[in-house]
Amino acid sequence: MRRLLIAASAFALTAGLAHADANLQSMMDDANQWVIQTGDYKNQRYSKLDQINKDNVKNLQVAWTFSTGVLRGHEGSPLVVGDVMYVHTPFPNIVYALDLNNDGKIIWKYEPKQDPNVIPVMCCDTVNRGVAYADGKILLHQADTKVVALDAKTGAEVWSVTNGDPGIGETNTATVMPVGDKVIVGISGGEFGVRGSVTAYNIKDGSQAWRAYSMGPDSDILVDPEKTTHLGKPVGVDSGTNTWEGDQWKIGGGTTWGWYSYDAEENLIYYGTGNPSTWNPAQRPGDNRWSMTVMARDADTGMARWFYQMTPHDEWDYDGINEMILTEQEIDGKTRKLLTHFDRNGFGYTLDRVSGELITAEKYDPTVNWATHVEMDKNSDQYGRPQVVAQYSTEHNGEDVNSTGICPAALGSKDQQPAAYSPTTGLFYVPTNHVCMDYEPFRVSYTAGQPYVGATLSMYPAPNSHGGMGNFIAWDNIKGEIVWSIPEQFSVWSGALATAGDIVFYGTLEGYLKAVNMATGEELYKFKTPSGIIGNVMTYAHGGKQYVAVLSGVGGWAGIGLAAGLTNPNDGLGAVGGYAALSDYTALGGQLTVFSLPN
């Protein structure tokens, strides 16, 4: 079989895990393994394994399963490091180490003792997007913001550090990213008026290396006013405070609960910041920098190279935290280092990841109506800004005005569910939400630790289309256009996986794992797992055999009604009513399902 590497004995359970990850990059390059949640630093979610391909994927069957013992939404994916699989759960964030040489026998189990009072502070379900591996350690960021390093062989705690304070609304739902001798972590809590930040801890002992806030004084946000740029121009002094009224930036949101990527040659990490607080735009005049922003920072120091704010003065909760996918592609005969980002606001952005130059910004769902376009004329004072349609603005002279028919809804044309990229086709494979909303702001006061939302939402399928709430699309990031699209009844809330077998995998909220032809979108295989899939599909090889694995367990924002037993249509920040029919197709669960070809 082409390019399927046989697992080396150096990665055996009984020997040398710490030695094996002396070079984490080489482990990522080994297609047998899956050592961080994104597969690699580029966030491409592409595997060179091709034993399972477009011709034989129809024969896929369940190889084995594992119950996590936890209900609620299961996001993220397992890891495979040598002969060991690591599986995580939503709150209470249990981690299992499973022996792939012994029928998935549990080697160790780590179960944090967390205060259950953190649960009501978590937005949009009790999800966790998984653990990472580095330096012989499994790195976990718990719901209560405790960052823990576990010995990969024994599960013993090596060190731990508290990253935030749930008492003021700071929690965590995200994974972490190890880079060099540091681990990069973010923070959740934008709906509680926290101030977002990204922090680097030293992997060896958990000591803090640096912290960069999303807004605040230059010394807090780690910018050089003359060297850090936005759309090619210096950001200037006080860029993180001068578009806020008074001290609003102190409760400004801009949380960092999404994904991270890394360019080793440039030594830059890339990520996005979330919505400004509150959701009532009338209460926070100005551009609210640097919420809703793509950030490029030096991995060693945290100093910012460049920013790009996608949705200045956000009025719709279009969090900018979705993944940044790094590629090298040809434009006008020249190979360039690119960053592609599918934002919640419905625009697919492609930027030069070295300079921050904006190259493409186009709608990846044709129903997007809140803005006509992003201004691309560099000579315009509107350059880089979305051109808002007044009808779909949510800011009014007085609150309590309901803006209707806004597309996309607050959960975006895509939420955090990661897309995949194939260097074979040059296309991106994107799980999307095809959902619109009504949005009514109201005045809200800030109290530490209490919700700071200030809007009532309702969501529903986009009108005048296929009637469903999702599509799975192939996207050309240079032309800025959809190549093919598969309609789905519900939002596609699963992360995609592309492989050298010319297939793309994704999961559905009803619980189907699907495989499609990456060139045409033709469905080649589907299997219904025990619960809705909001996890991310991954693949690995063991004993010369390729496997595909996915967590099922319905939940997340789209499935919050099922996960938390909510029935009021406006609950779940507007999602419960929109996804009420989901209970006709699936129920709660928590299971890993592993697939392979028959022997």
Residue 7 has pLDDT above 80, yes or no: no
**DSSP code per residue over 245-265:** STTGGGG-B----S--EEETT
| Token code pair at residue 496 | 């995609």
pLDDT at 137: 97
Average pLDDT over residues 283-312: 98
List the beta strands (DSSP E) in 369-448. 371-374, 386-388, 403-406, 420-422, 427-433, 435-441
Q: Determine which helix (DSSP H) or strand (DSSP E) holds 26, and give its type and residue range.
A: helix 24-29
Residue in 414, 330, 421 with CA at minimum distance from that of residue 42: 421
pLDDT tens, position by position, 58-100? 999 999 999 999 999 999 999 999 999 999 999 999 999 999 9
| Token code pair at residue 385 | 């800004």
Average pLDDT over residues 530-553: 98
pLDDT at 396: 81
Q: Mean pLDDT across the chain, nearest whole number? A: 94
Residue 20 has pLDDT above 50, yes or no: no
pLDDT at 566: 87
Residue 452 has pLDDT above 80, yes or no: yes
pLDDT at 407: 98
8 A C-beta contact, residue 49 and residue 34: no
317 belongs to the catalytic site: yes
Q: How far apart are the C-alpha atoms of 45 and 251, rounded to whole Å?
A: 34
Sheet of 420-422, strands arranged across: 420-422, 427-433, 470-476, 481-488
pLDDT at 563: 87
* Beta-carbon contacts of residue 518 (< 8 Å; ≥ 6 apart): 54, 422, 424, 425, 427, 429, 474, 498, 502, 503, 504
Confidence category of residue 397, pLDDT binned at 50, 70, 90: low
Confidence category of residue 9, pLDDT binned at 50, 70, 90: very low
SS3 168: helix
| Token code pair at residue 166 | 């749930």
| Token code pair at residue 567 | 């029935």
- Separation of CA 240 from chain center: 24
Q: What percentage of residues in the chain have a pLDDT greater than 90?
A: 90
Average pLDDT over residues 310-336: 97
By the 10 Å C-beta count (0-12 exposed, 13-18 middle, 19+ buried), 387 is classed as exposed
* Beta-carbon contacts of residue 424 (< 8 Å; ≥ 6 apart): 500, 502, 518
Domains, the chain, ranges and CATH?
Answer: 9-596 (2.140.10.10)
| Token code pair at residue 131 | 């653990």
Residue 255 has pLDDT above 90, yes or no: yes
8 A C-beta contact, residue 163 and residue 176: no
Residue 578 has pLDDT above 70, yes or no: yes
Sheet of 233-234, strands arranged across: 233-234, 229-230, 304-309, 293-298, 268-272, 261-263
pLDDT tens, position by position, 30-55? 999 999 999 999 999 999 999 999 99
More confident residue, 548 or 558: 548
List the catalytic residue out of 317, 365, 415, 502.
Answer: 317
Beta-bridge mates of residue 144? none
Residue 4 has pLDDT above 50, yes or no: no
Average pLDDT over residues 446-455: 95
User: Which of 41-55, 451-465, 512-526 has the least mean pLDDT?
Assistant: 451-465
| Token code pair at residue 152 | 């990969």
Residue 208 has pLDDT above 80, yes or no: yes
pLDDT at 3: 38
Residue 19 has pLDDT above 60, yes or no: no
Confidence category of residue 118, pLDDT binned at 50, 70, 90: very high
Average pLDDT over residues 309-332: 97
pLDDT at 213: 98
Q: How far apart are the C-alpha atoms of 102 and 427, rounded to whole Å?
A: 38
How many CB atoms are located within 10 Å of the residue 351 CB?
24
Residue 1 has pLDDT above 60, yes or no: no
Q: What percentage of residues in the chain have a pLDDT greater than 70?
A: 96
Residue in 328, 314, 322 with CA at minimum distance from that of residue 284: 314
Confidence category of residue 572, pLDDT binned at 50, 70, 90: confident
8 A C-beta contact, residue 269 and residue 293: no
Q: How far apart are the C-alpha atoms of 182 and 201, rounded to whole Å?
A: 5
8 A C-beta contact, residue 357 and residue 296: no
pLDDT at 573: 82
pLDDT at 559: 85
8 A C-beta contact, residue 555 and residue 73: yes
Average pLDDT over residues 282-307: 97
Confidence category of residue 557, pLDDT binned at 50, 70, 90: confident
pLDDT at 460: 94
8 A C-beta contact, residue 536 and residue 550: yes
Q: How far apart are the C-alpha atoms of 288 and 292, rounded to whole Å?
A: 9
